[in-house]
């Protein structure tokens, strides 16, 4: 995995997150989640204590109350077509309905999760066989089986729900199997094996833990489906009329819909609301368990205010000269650490980049170097909040002028990312991506673009350009991918290149080649470059000038010779000392 800070890690280091609360608390903190959870809990309680809560026996009949309207004489929700109390029947009905749901969930969970764990862990024939069975079950018209079951044994909702559980088990199976396959490939599982942990322990501890999220979320969906299918089966006449259940109550009310139109409302309502609460609960669980780290979101109004403020604040005078291709003044930005506050990450950065200059941006992880790179390109993550400053290039302040940014990005400024494999679109061939990217930046025909791309690929050292253009990203090596990315960056003939740790993810031998390539390109085309790196050796090799970053500020800036031989700032000195032994040795001067 890359060592460059991605935004998730960044947020966690800069804005120390509170210790993750238990899931249930997180769910309760979400207003939707709280309402759903409380409602479901209420329903369960009602079901368990039905005999105490219900005003009367669900089968108690009073002929004079047939189809009685609301609030008549102790029949709070009115009477049904046989003269029974609707409310009591609904309350007792909870039990049947819940039992049915639990059965569906139980059967499908056990079958699906166990099968998924085994298949995903052991793979091979076991997986093939279970996969086949799962597909066969999923292809079965489940309803037909349930109807046939009814035809042979009569109405038996618990049995039918168990059969339905088998029918939906494959959904759990697929889910669990997919997660297990992924987790199994993780290093820590291999480590556990090496240490000698038994399979059962590995599965029980690590794999099961990874699977719990998706399984819990899916379970909510299955419970919702259970209620729905019970109502549906009763609707087409497969229910058991001697036992009060929501489905039966709904069906009976449908039969008398003309005599008592209002009678349909209560069962329909309670069924819909309960299903809805399970569905929404599932959504909340998904957000909580699979949260992408942003435990802090800014209130939309506050964000708007801050952004407006940043755009309207007076810009410092930046140098306007033909020689300066990129000029940053007072750049401030941050990430939210609460609904109203933002933790500042860049505290006013200044930078001037001259034509043809290769400028290194060094610092430790978390110092903010990548943030500057992303800010220039306007590709900060959505959570980032710009707080002030200006970035001028090609006569446009890209921080304040969105249209200007779109003009400049890709055309005047190019980007070389760090991790070659994950930065290429896996769905398109190399040639396709490069041609499309080029044509997005510069108007030209497809053929002209292809020719140009081919030439560039050869220039960056890919000999068999035609063949490589037909390959997909997963079919080429890391080194080749990085060259492709470089090609993509320079194809539109930009003036500035922002390179974010371009060699960090490459093998040592390939690193040297790529660095050489970058130097050549810069010389050939007069490219100015901002080279973000934590490796002083790279700086020494390639850059003419360097800025040293620490905690969101540039603490020292100057020519490479000066900084590396006679740094003034104590932090720079520290940096040099610790890296001298390691990195400078690698490259040599």
Partner 1 sequence: MLLYIVKHLARAVGVFLTVTFATFVVMYGNGAGVARATLGMNASAQDVQRRMADLGLDRPLFVQYFDWLGGLFTGDLGRSYYTGQSVAGALGVRVPVTMSLIIVTLVLTVIISVFLGVAAAYYRGWVDRTVQVVAGLGAAIPSFIVAVVLVLVFAVNNPILPATGYVRPTDSVSGWLASITLPVISILIGTLGAAQIRGSVIDVLSRDFVRTLRARGISERAVVFRHVLRSASGPGIIAFGLLVVAMFGGTIFVEQVFALPGMGQLLNQSAQAGDVPMVMGCVLVTTIVVLVVNLIADLSNALLNPKARTR
Partner 2 sequence: MRISKRRALAIVAAPAALALALAGCAGGGDQPSGGEKYDKLILGMTADLTGGWDIVDQPAYQAWGIEAVYQTLCRILPGGEYTPDAAESWEVSDDNRSFTAHLREGVEYSDGTPVDAASVEASFDVLKETASDRYGEITYDSPDDQTITITWPEAQPLLLDRVCTAKLASSDFLASADRDTQPVGSGPYTYDIDASTQGSIYQLVKNPDYWNADAYPYKTLELRVLADETASLNALKTGQIDGTVISSTVYDEAEKSGLEITGVQSGMLMIHLTDRLGEVIPALGDVRVRQAMNMIIDKQAVVDQLWDGHATPIWQPFQLNGQAILDIEDPYPYDEEKAKELMAEAGYEDGFTFTVPTMEGQPWTRLLPYLTEQLAKLNITIEQKALSGPDAIAELLSGDFPVPVWQVGAPTSVEDISIHVLDTGFWNVLHQPNETVTGLWDQIVTGDDDQRLAAQQEINQYVIDNAWFVPILSPYNYYAYDGDKVTIDEVTDPYGGHPTLIDFQ
Q: Interface with partner 1 by CB under 8 A: which residues?
A: 32, 132, 135-136, 138-145, 147-152, 171, 224, 228, 231-232, 235-236, 254, 257, 264, 268, 271-273, 275-276, 279-280, 283, 286, 292, 300, 374, 377-379, 381-382, 406, 409-411, 414-415, 417, 419, 422-428, 436-437, 440-441, 472, 474, 485, 488, 492
- Scanning 81-89, 186-194, 365-373, 391-399 for contacts with partner 2 by CB under 8 A, the matching segment is 81-89
Residue 82 neighbours by CB distance under 10 Å: 15
* Residue 242 interacts with partner 2 (CB under 8 A): yes or no: yes
Phi, psi of 324 (to 5 degrees): -95, 110
Task: Give the shortest CB-148-to-partner 1 separation in angstroms.
Answer: 5
Task: Give the shortest CB-482-to-partner 1 separation in angstroms.
Answer: 12
* Residue 59 interacts with partner 2 (CB under 8 A): yes or no: yes
* Residue 64 interacts with partner 2 (CB under 8 A): yes or no: yes
142 binds, among partner 2, partner 1, none (CB under 5 to 8 A by kind): partner 1
59 binds, among partner 2, partner 1, none (CB under 5 to 8 A by kind): partner 2
Q: Which residues contact 139 (CB under 8 A, 6 or more apart)?
A: none
Task: Give the shortest CB-159-to-partner 2 separation in angstroms.
Answer: 13
* Residue 243-272 contact track with partner 2, rule CB under 8 A, x = bound: --------x--xxxxxx-------------
Task: Give the shortest CB-234-to-partner 2 separation in angstroms.
Answer: 11
Q: Which is nearer to partner 1, 504 or 544 (CB)?
A: 504
Q: Which residues contact 315 (CB under 8 A, 6 or more apart)?
A: 329, 330, 389, 390, 397, 400
* Residue 427 interacts with partner 2 (CB under 8 A): yes or no: no
Angle at 123 between CA 118 and CA 124, to 5 degrees: 130
Task: Give the shortest CB-286-to-partner 1 separation in angstroms.
Answer: 7
Instruction: Rule CB under 8 A: choose which of 125, 139, 152, 447 binds partner 2.
Output: 152
Can you say whether residue 248 is alpha, beta or left, with left for phi > 0 and alpha for psi between -120 and 50 degrees?
alpha
Torsion of CA 126, 130, 135, 140, to 10 degrees: 150
DSSP secondary structure, 502-539, as one string: TTTTS-HHHHHHHHHHHHHHHHHHT-EEEEEES-HHHH
* Residue 158 interacts with partner 2 (CB under 8 A): yes or no: no
Q: Hey, what long-range contacts does 556-561 have (CB within 8 A, 24 or more apart)?
A: 560/360
- 553, 348 Cβ separation under 8 angstroms: yes
Q: Which is nearer to partner 2, 150 or 278 (CB)?
A: 150
Residue 523 neighbours by CB distance under 10 Å: 11
Q: Which is nearer to partner 2, 53 or 264 (CB)?
A: 264
The Cα 164–Cα 541 span in angstroms is: 67
242 binds, among partner 1, partner 2, none (CB under 5 to 8 A by kind): partner 2
DSSP secondary structure, 535-573, as one string: -HHHHHHH-SEEEEEETTEEEEEEEHHHHHHS--SHHHH
Q: Which residues contact 377 (CB under 8 A, 6 or more apart)?
A: 409, 413, 415, 498
- Scanning 62-70, 97-105, 174-182, 273-281 for contacts with partner 2 by CB under 8 A, the matching segment is 62-70
232 binds, among partner 1, partner 2, none (CB under 5 to 8 A by kind): partner 1
Angle at 184 between CA 183 and CA 187, to 5 degrees: 85
154 binds, among partner 2, partner 1, none (CB under 5 to 8 A by kind): partner 2
411 binds, among partner 1, partner 2, none (CB under 5 to 8 A by kind): partner 1
- 246, 227 Cβ separation under 8 angstroms: yes
Site for partner 2 in 219-238 (CB under 8 A): 235-238
Tokens of residue 501, six digits = 């740790």
Task: Give the shortest CB-589-to-partner 1 separation in angstroms.
Answer: 33
- Comparing CA positions, the residue from 531, 525, 544 lying closest to residue 498 is 531
63 binds, among partner 1, partner 2, none (CB under 5 to 8 A by kind): partner 2
Task: Give the shortest CB-472-to-partner 2 separation in angstroms.
Answer: 51
Q: Which is nearer to partner 1, 423 or 533 (CB)?
A: 423
Tokens of residue 228, six digits = 């729905």
Q: Which is nearer to partner 1, 19 or 474 (CB)?
A: 474
Q: Which element (helix H / strand E) includes 351?
A: strand 342-354
DSSP-derived 3-state class of residue 100: helix
- 349, 331 Cβ separation under 8 angstroms: yes
- 202, 184 Cβ separation under 8 angstroms: no
The Cα 544–Cα 556 span in angstroms is: 15
* Residue 144 interacts with partner 2 (CB under 8 A): yes or no: no
The Cα 160–Cα 157 span in angstroms is: 5
Task: Give the shortest CB-88-to-partner 2 separation in angstroms.
Answer: 12
Task: Give the shortest CB-222-to-partner 1 separation in angstroms.
Answer: 12
Q: Catalog residues that contact partner 2 under the rule CB under 8 A.
A: 59-61, 63-64, 66, 81-84, 150-155, 235-238, 240-242, 251, 254-259
């Amino acid at each position: 995995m890359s060592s460059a800070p991605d935004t998730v890690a960044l947020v966690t280091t800069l804005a120390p997150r509170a210790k993750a609360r238990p899931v249930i608390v997180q769910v309760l903190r979400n207003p939707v989640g709280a309402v759903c959870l409380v409602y479901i809990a209420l329903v369960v309680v009602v079901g368990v204590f039905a005999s105490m809560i219900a005003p009367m026996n669900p089968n108690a009949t009073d002929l004079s109350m047939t189809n009685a309207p609301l609030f008549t004489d102790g029949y709070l929700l009115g009477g049904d077509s046989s003269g029974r109390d609707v409310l009591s029947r609904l309350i007792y009905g909870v039990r049947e309905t819940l039992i049915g749901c639990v059965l569906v969930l139980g059967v499908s969970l056990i079958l699906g999760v166990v099968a998924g764990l085994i298949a995903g862990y052991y793979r091979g024939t076991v997986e093939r066989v279970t996969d086949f069975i799962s597909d066969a079950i999923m292809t079965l018209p489940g309803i037909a089986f349930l109807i046939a079951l009814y035809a042979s044994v009569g109405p038996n909702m618990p049995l039918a729900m168990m059969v339905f559980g088998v029918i939906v088990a494959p959904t759990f199976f697929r889910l669990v199997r997919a997660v297990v396959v992924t987790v199994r490939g993780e290093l820590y599982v291999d480590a556990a094996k090496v240490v000698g942990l038994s399979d059962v322990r590995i599965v029980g501890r690590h794999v099961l833990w990874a699977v719990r999220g998706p399984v819990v979320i899916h379970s909510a969906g299955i419970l919702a489906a259970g209620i729905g299918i019970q109502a549906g089966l009763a609707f087409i006449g497969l229910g058991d009329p001697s036992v009060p259940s929501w489905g039966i109550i709904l069906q009976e009310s449908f039969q008398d819909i003309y005599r008592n139109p209002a009678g349909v409302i209560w069962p329909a309502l309670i069924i819909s609301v309960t299903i809805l609460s399970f569905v929404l609960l599932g959504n909340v669980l998904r957000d909580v368990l699979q949260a992408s780290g942003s435990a802090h979101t800014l209130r939309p109004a506050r964000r708007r205010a801050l952004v407006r403020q940043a755009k309207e604040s007076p810009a410092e005078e930046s140098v306007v000269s033909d020689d300066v291709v990129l000029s940053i003044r007072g750049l401030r930005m941050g990430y939210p650490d609460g609904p109203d506050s933002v933790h500042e990450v860049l505290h006013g950065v200044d930078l001037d980049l001259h034509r043809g200059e290769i400028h290194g941006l060094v610092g430790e992880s978390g110092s903010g170097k990548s943030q500057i790179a992303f800010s220039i390109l306007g590709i900060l993550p959505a959570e980032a909040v710009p707080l002030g400053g200006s970035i001028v290039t090609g006569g446009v302040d890209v921080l304040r002028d969105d249209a200007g940014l779109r003009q400049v990005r890709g055309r005047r400024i190019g980007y070389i990312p760090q991790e070659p494999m994950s930065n290429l679109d896996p769905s398109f061939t190399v040639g396709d991506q490069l041609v499309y990217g080029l044509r997005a930046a510069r108007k030209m025909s497809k053929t002209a673009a292809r020719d140009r791309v081919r030439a560039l690929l050869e220039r960056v050292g890919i000999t068999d350009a035609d063949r490589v253009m037909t390959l997909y990203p997963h079919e080429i090596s890391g080194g080749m991918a990085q060259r492709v990315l470089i090609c993509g960056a320079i194809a539109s003939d930009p003036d500035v290149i922002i390179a974010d740790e371009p060699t960090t993810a490459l093998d040592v031998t390939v690193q040297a080649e790529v660095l050489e390539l970058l130097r050549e390109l810069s010389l050939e085309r007069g490219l100015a470059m901002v080279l973000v790196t934590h490796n002083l050796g790279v700086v020494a090799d390639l850059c003419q000038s360097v800025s040293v970053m620490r905690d969101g500020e540039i603490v020292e800036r100057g020519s490479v010779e000066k900084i590396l031989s006679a740094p003034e700032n104590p932090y720079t000195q520290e940096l040099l000392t610790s890296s001298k032994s390691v990195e400078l040795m690698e490259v040599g001067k």
